[in-house]
Structure 1
Amino acid sequence: MKSIAYIVLCTVAILVMILSGPQVATAVTCQVTQLAPCAAAISSSSAPSKQCCTKIREQKPCLCNYMKNPNLKAYVSSPNAKKVATTCGVPIPKC
């Protein structure tokens, strides 16, 4: 009987440690296609949508890679792209 109580106590203790432990951040997959919801705002002067702002915040760690890519640089470094980032509260990275 004591061994069953001990096993239950250990199991509960392990679950508490797992659930209250540090949260593991999920890695961002850098895919410029994730910024598709921002295409209209970047190519015109329209305001970015809520979905655009969500995606640009998610892709924030990837922005320097996009800016360094010769095929993408003109788009992600354009004045409208910078305006979209600023409107969404994402600082323009200095790469």
Structure 2
Amino acid sequence: MRSQSVLAICAVVTAAALLLSNTRMAEAVTCEPRDLILSCQQVVQSPLSPPSPSGPCCVKLREQKTCFCGYLEKYSAIVKPYLNDPRVTKVASICGVTIPVNC
């Protein structure tokens, strides 16, 4: 009888751990290009040379770096011209983010 109680407790703990890990995964990055554009647009369009990215821009770049290949696939015609802009690559570099060219 006692071994069944221990087994039941282990099952509950395992189920709770699985639920918590799924919750954390659901809190992962939401790939929203509009958020990225709004966070970095002023920096990229600024006449300052070299550009000086703000904290929110760098945070958003780092947060969405796992989204870049999806953006390239889904919005290729819109995104590719920006990748050729040296200001965009400079901002990403200053923020410590590498923008993939081939995915």
Same fold (TM over 0.5): yes
Provide the rounded CA distance (Å) in 2 between the counterparts of 1:61 and 1:43: 24
Partner of 2:45: 43
Q: 1:23 to 1:87 in 2, by over 3 A?
A: farther
Q: How many residues align?
A: 91
2:77 is the counterpart of 1:55: no
The Cα RMSD (Å) is 3.2
Superposed displacement of residue 93, structure 1 = 1.0
Q: Which stretch of structure 1 is more off in the superposition, 84-93 or 41-50?
A: 41-50
> 56-65 vs 16-25, which deviates more?
16-25
| Segments ≥4 residues shifted beyond 6 Å | none
Separation (CA, whole Å) in 2 of partners of 1:66 and 1:77: 15
- Aligned position for 2:94: 87
Amino acid at match of 1:72: V
Displacement of 1:62: 2.1
Deviation at 1:23, TM superposition (A): 4.1
Counterpart code for 1:34: D
Worse-superposed segment, 69-78 or 13-22:
13-22
Q: Which ranges of structure 2 fall in alignment gaps of 5 or more residues?
A: none
Question: 59-68 vs 46-55, which deviates more?
Answer: 59-68
**Which has a greater percent of helix?**
2
What TM-score does the superposition give when structure 2 sets the normalisation length? Answer: 0.63
CA 1:21–1:74 in structure 2 vs 1: closer, same or farther (change >3 Å)?
same
Q: Which runs of 5+ in 1 are unaligned?
A: none
